[in-house]
Each structure stands twice: as C-alpha cells, then as structure tokens.
Structure 1
Amino acid sequence: MSLIYLQGYPENILEQVQTLIDHQRLGTFLQQRYPDTHNIVSDRALYDYTQALKNRYMRSAPPVSKVIWDNKIKVMKHALGLHTAISRVQGGNLKAKAEIRISTFFRLAPEAFLRMIVVHELAHLKEKEHDKAFYQLCCHMEPDYHQLEFDARLWMTDQAMRGNAA
C-alpha cells in the first residue's frame, strides 16, 4: 500500500512506518499512544467543543457562526476539515460569517486528532495561509500540533488499510 497520507515526509520516517505496517503493528501502536476516544457526535457538541477552544485561545478572533460534521468532505480531496467565510448583504451592510466543517470520518478518531483539526480550522480565523504565523498559532493552541498532525496521518493510513473510507 502506498503511504498517500504521508507524502512529503522524509524517507527514513516512511521506512519506519512501513516496518510497522509490515509487522501489522501500526494499529496497536496508535491505540497505545491514543487510547482516548471522544463522544462528540452531534453538530451541537462539535460547536460547543470548538467554541471552548476558541474562547480559551482566540477570544478576539471573529465569531464562528456554525460548526458541523460534514459527510461530503472526502479526506483525499479536501483535507480534514474546511473553514469558510460567507459574506451576505443585509440591508446596506455586508455581514461575514465563519463556518467550520469537519469530516465525519473523524467522529471515530481519537480525541487528540479531533482537537488538532479544530485547532487548525480555528487558526484560519486569523491566518488564511499555511505560513509560519499560521503554524505558530496552531502550536500556541496545541503545543503537540505537528506530532498530532503526523499521527493523524498514520491513523488515516491505518483506517484505509482496514477498509474504512477516508
């Protein structure tokens, strides 16, 4: 199986991952490292979870009007979640609303991976591009951001090998 979710990582890292796969230990490794799941299954619970993180780290950021699970997001095509800004004219005013959509694929993910995705999407409220400032903000909200992103990609690889569509 190709390591499609790990493209761009150094060859020595990919070799270590391939060894775990060859010995059928990737799932066990991830389960031991991330035993905690979450029970955030409704859109309301996801909104509340996101708002709690926003209120803790980004009080001055623009408000988020909607946070939902989205079964139309395909991880291979869109990434893990989407942040959209919707502008509407109301009377003579232009109203902007921020929305966050998270792939329903992550309803089954460990809580740490969901947190990483929500942090990523919240960071887009202030930083639109994936640049240094963006990743600094992600790491401010989640110090283990880069490790969690990598491990989430390992989890997606394991899920794909198990036949769970991502």
Structure 2
Amino acid sequence: MAPLKYLQAYPVTLQDKVRELIAQERLGEHLAKRYPDRHEVQSDKALYAYVAALKQQHLKNAPGIDKVLYDARLDVLRNALGLHTAISRVQGGRLKAKKEIRVASLFKAAAPEFLQMIVVHELAHLKELDHNKAFYQLCTYMLPDYHQLEFDLRVYLTWRELPSTDHTDMRER
C-alpha cells in the first residue's frame, strides 16, 4: 500500500487504522465527527489578536510579535504549515529584529483545534528554536493535547490529498 507521507514517523498500527478508514471511504467522516467546527479567525487582524492572546496567556516573557498573517505561499509539501521568522533591519544606527508568524492559508477553513495547534507550535519557537524535548514540553504546557492534535492534523492533511476528496469542508463527506 502507498506510504502515508504525513504519518511515516508514527507506528504502523496507527497507519494501518488510517489506511482502513481510507479504504472504507470514511476518513473524512471520522475527522468531521472529531472536529465538527470551523474557527472564525478569518482575517490577518483576527489572527494577530488570536496569537497575541495565546502568547499573553502562556508566554508573557517571550519576545513580542510584530506581524501575524495567513500566507497562501506556505507549502504543505515542504511541511511548512506555519513559519516563524525574525527579520533584522537597520533603523537609524540600531539593529531591530521583527518577529513574524505566518500560518498556511489552508487553516482558514480548518477546525479551531488545528489552528490552535499550529499557533502553539509557532509560539513555542519564540523560546525554543529547535524541535527538541524542551520545545515539545513547552507545546504540551500550552496545549495539553498537543501530540494528539498534531497526529490528527497529519491525518487531516492525508485526507486532503485523497483524490476523491472535496477539500472545501470535511463535513461534506
């Protein structure tokens, strides 16, 4: 059977369960039952407020964020669902670093839990640059179900790439 590219790091038993749902054409239905809602964070301004509120709640001492936006250029194929950057600019005689968080536009139509997981992931990079133990501990501090949501998000991405899938909304399946 074809490899599940988003799930390759997970145990074969989990991959087989996903393959079974795909074979039965029930993966979209399964996801819709688990994540029936769609979030209302649709504009860059609303996304900035959403990210700022999560940062204030969990990472008060982390550096400020200057820009947050949905980015249609982020490519799921290169595993870029979100992106954090620090852009350095010379202003006057000083060097200023501006922190940005970009979230892939596909998350405008996603479940609120998936958006929260991506934002938590990118916020964790404000304190931990690498995907190490401390990084994932910070993610689970901010979002206790982080690992389950990351897995489910990978299942969602798998479902989105199925040839017979209507990508507008998983509730339509």
**TM-score band, normalised by shorter chain:** over 0.9
How much has 1:79 moved relative to structure 2?
2.0
User: Which one is further off, 4-13 or 131-140?
Assistant: 4-13
Kindly provide the CA deviation profile for residues 134-162 of structure 1, in whole angstroms up to 9, marking residues without a partner as x: 00000000000000000001111111111
TM-score (norm 1): 0.95
Runs (4 or more) in structure 1 with deviation over 6 Å come to none
Counterpart position of 2:114? 113
**Separation in structure 2 between the aligned mates of residue 79 and residue 3 of structure 1, nearest angstrom:** 17
Counterpart position of 1:62? 63
Alignment: residue pair count: 165
**Separation in structure 2 between the aligned mates of residue 85 and residue 26 of structure 1, nearest angstrom:** 38
How much has 1:78 moved relative to structure 2?
4.1
**Separation in structure 1 between the aligned mates of residue 101 and residue 23 of structure 2, nearest angstrom:** 37
- State whether structure 2 residue 45 is matched by structure 1 residue 44: yes
SS in 1 for 2:63: coil
**Separation in structure 1 between the aligned mates of residue 106 and residue 37 of structure 2, nearest angstrom:** 16
**Separation in structure 2 between the aligned mates of residue 43 and residue 23 of structure 1, nearest angstrom:** 38
TM-score (norm 2): 0.92
The percent identity for this pair of structures is 55
SS in 2 for 1:5: coil
Kindly provide the CA deviation profile for residues 14-37 of structure 1, in whole angstroms up to 9, marking residues without a partner as x: 111101111111111111111121
How much has 1:163 moved relative to structure 2?
5.8
**Separation in structure 2 between the aligned mates of residue 62 and residue 49 of structure 1, nearest angstrom:** 16
Give the AA of the match of 1:63.
G
